[in-house]
Amino acid sequence: MSHHIVEARDLEFTYPDRTPALQKVSFKIHHGESVAVVGANGAGKSTLLLHLNGYLTPSAGQVRIGDYPLTRETLREVRRTVGMVFHDPDDQLFMSTVFDDVAFGPLNLNLPAEEVAARVDKALATVGLSDLRERPPHRLSSGQKRRVAIASVLSMSPDILVMDEPTSGLDPRARRQLIELLAGFKHSKIIATHDLDMVVDICERTIVMHDGRIRADGPTPEIFADAELLESCRLEKPLRMQGCPVCGSAPDHRPPTIG
Amino acid sequence: MTDRISRAFYDIGRLEIIAGRDSFVHRLDPRAKLLVTVFFIIAVVSFDRYAVAGLVPFFLYPAAIIGLAGLPVGYLFRKLLIVSPFVICIGIFNPFLDLEIMVNLGPLAVSGGWVSFTSLILRFSLTIGAALILIATTGFPKVCMALEKLGAPRILAVQLLLLYRYLFVLIEESIRMIRAHALRSCSRRRPAFRVYTQLLGNLLLRTLDRAERIHLAMLSRAFTSEIRTVRRFTFGRAELLFTLTAAAAFLLFRTIPVAELLGGLILEISL
């Protein structure tokens, strides 16, 4: 595959209890792009993410990953291509040691043992946790868990990273480290989040969802400059784009520095 | 109540920290330790119900391992005490049912019931102690993996692993729920039965939700239906030596009445 695109075409989804969650959702994401999916609670962000690796099947429309449409036959290949990092690391880290957890994906891909070990080492080194490999996941801090969850996905060499609220529940320092880590990745990234300041840091493009529809899709600075749009979608400007409430100084409109 | 649950919770954590230490015993392949523990338990359980003296030499094994691995004796002993009521309940009627005099210790006549009760307590301390020592030097997950490598059904090993992993999550979740209840029910010390059933039901629903999310996480990492782990154990010379020495010692203790021989020897010398 030369160009990894995620494409949603007129995606619709209704939960079994007849709650419509997605309506006519269409977008294309190009290779190497970093896209934020923002929206109020219940806007349909998580439901959308669950379509991207085929956990939910759309009621209508189609998802295409790379050159494949997402169907039962391509599911395996798609799940290797799309690395999904879940909201709660406790759901994602189900094995009894960090090593086993990070090795879980590569082993399922039927890779030989040496290759699995090499991939685990590399993934753990990338997130900076090589020395925790034999530790049980429940003994880690939230920030460490989150990074192990990312390593467990990286070890499968995905082309696309899909993340649900990667910075929630982290202390400021751990959040900053995570943002730096993510900014260093060359993968295409799709990040659903409420942390709009992180979006300013790592996503050049933002999709705004509201009531199961895409309300806006464009360059991040433009989206966050549109006060009316944000207001109508129950969102607020990133803190650094608001004036300082203490000293009253003007907001910071400089382009984000990454890394 | 929350307080007590959390304390029990941190206690499991302590066992895990002990298991994470480094020593000759800790470094041995889990399979060797599991095999030795199984041999030990079989040897101890195979004595007849009135055996007391024959069991005594077996205390050498836990003593040796505790010494070699530097395990905290007091902690392990407290763990034994926690489980002891079960055994005492099972054995407590022996002295009342079996009244035949078996041993005369000077003026004290000891009935068969008391002898078998003592034997039961000894056997309980030895077997549960050995299991505790196994976990304290190996860690529960590795014991499960060793079980699987030694031919136990894979599904059993995986279930045990997942059970252990999510035990902590489940306990934390229950602690949060009970705490939330306690903070809003000032007068009552424990939840009323009706509230209790609701708490439990809620916990079950949360667990089901989580199970679904875990399955989702597994699926997104190309899970088919089999959980695989990399084999990282080596059964080398040290393991072989450990297993054979221990097995030989247990066989010796089991077949030769070491305690009686020693007793006889001491008597001979002193006479």
The arithmetic mean of pLDDT across residues A203-221, rounded, is: 94
Look at chain B and count its residues: 271
For chain A, the domains span 6-92+158-241
**For A6-92+158-241, CATH number?**
3.40.50.300
Residue A82 pairs in a beta bridge with A160
Triad A33, A158, A175: Cα angle to 5°: 65
Tens digit of each residue's pLDDT, chain B (271 residues): 556 666 766 677 788 888 888 888 999 999 999 999 999 999 999 988 888 888 989 999 999 999 999 999 999 998 888 888 888 888 888 888 888 887 777 788 888 888 889 999 999 999 999 999 999 999 888 898 888 888 888 888 888 888 888 888 888 888 888 888 878 877 666 667 888 888 889 889 988 988 888 888 888 888 877 777 776 678 889 899 999 999 999 999 888 877 778 778 888 877 6
The owner of tokens 């942390």 is: A195
Q: Following DSSP, what letter does each residue of B184-200 receive, concatenated?
A: T-SS-SS--HHHHHHHH
Strands A34-38 and A68-69: unpaired
Under 8 Å CB pairs connecting chains A and B tally to 84
Q: What pLDDT shows up at residue A4?
A: 55
The arithmetic mean of pLDDT across residues A96-108, rounded, is: 90
Contact A104 B227 (CB under 8 A): yes
pLDDT band at A259 (very low <50, low <70, confident <90, very high): very low
- The closest alpha carbon to A7, from A49, A60, A50, A66, belongs to A66
For residue A191, what is the enclosing H or E element? strand A188-192
Contact A99 B230 (CB under 8 A): yes
Residues A68-78 have pLDDT tens digits of 888 888 888 88
Q: What pLDDT shows up at residue B14?
A: 83
Q: What is the CA radius of gyration of chain A?
A: 19
Q: What is the 3-state secondary structure (H, E, C) of B108-122?
A: EEEEHHHHHHHHHHH
Of A96, A99, A152, the CB nearest to B161: A96
Give ipTM to 2 decimals: 0.80
- The closest alpha carbon to A188, from A63, A22, A66, belongs to A66
Specify whether the CB–CB gap between A165 and A89 falls below 8 A: no
Q: How far apart are CA A71 and CA B81, in angstroms?
A: 58
Q: What pLDDT shows up at residue B151?
A: 87
- The closest alpha carbon to A194, from A37, A50, A88, belongs to A37
Phi and psi for A89 in degrees, rounded to 5?
-60, -25
Q: What pLDDT shows up at residue A5?
A: 80
Specify whether the CB–CB gap between A30 and A5 falls below 8 A: yes
| Closest residue of chain B to A158, computed from CA coordinates | B221
| Closest residue of chain A to B19, computed from CA coordinates | A135
